[in-house]
Amino acid sequence: MKKALLIVDLQHDFLPGGSLAVAEGDAVIPFVSDLMNKKGRYELIVATQDWHPPGHGSFASAHQGAKPFDLGELNGLEQVFWPDHCVQGQDGARSHPDIMQPLISITETGQRTVIIKKGQHLEVDSYTAFFDNARRHDTGLHRALQSYEISAVDVVGLAFDYCVKFTALDAASLGYATTVLLQGTRSVDPTTVETTTAELEAAGVCCR
């Protein structure tokens, strides 16, 4: 069984000090870095990045009167309006150096790696690493996994109750044996960990 590691959105804006910081988000980085350096464990290592254009429709600043974390609608879909985050080319969109530098190093030694950018379409958000939320566009991740004959994925990164969850749900629905490694993720809302875990396990995702 060929396995891939999916590292979801370990970017500056989701880490302490960022515009949409996940509490203790930086605590997962040593664990994830260690996984990346386990030679032979993964056929493919994938790092995803939220990669929004300026003025993205998911930003509260793009909607008159909206405040960060208000619940609204974006092109017919329920949408949390977020603080501006992970804007293309800005420092907040960069992956943490303790993820990016090992990614570069292991690529140079022959490890297969892929970077997937998501959330690039102005009028729709993208929580999952596979598609936008409206399922109008795919990111190319499924094709990349297929090209390397991947049949199982381990998922880590930020945040457990949003992009990690939806990435894992899509991976399972696409037929991959999917595991979320809980030591490698944190939630925007820590009170949702149990319900998120239950939702994932009900969909056939292993959480351990």
Q: What are the residue ranges spanned by the domains of the chain?
A: 3-53+93-207
pLDDT 10s digits, 46-87: 999 999 999 999 999 999 999 999 999 998 999 999 999 999
Give, in order, the Cα–Cα distances in Å from 75 to each of 50, 58, 78, 163.
19, 10, 8, 19
Give this prediction's pTM.
Answer: 0.96
Give the torsion sign (CA, 12, 34, 140, 208): negative
Fold assignment, 3-53+93-207: Rossmann fold (3.40.50)
Q: How far apart are CA 172 and CA 166, in angstroms?
A: 10
Active site residue 38: no
Active site residue 206: no
For the chain, percent of residues with pLDDT exceeding 90? 92
In sequence order, the β-bridge partners of residue 178 are 153
Find the catalytic residue in 9, 132, 154, 161.
9
Active site residue 9: yes
Tokens of 44: 């493919």
Find the catalytic residue in 163, 165, 170, 207.
163
Q: How far apart are CA 45 and CA 114, in angstroms?
A: 6
Find the catalytic residue in 84, 118, 125, 207.
118
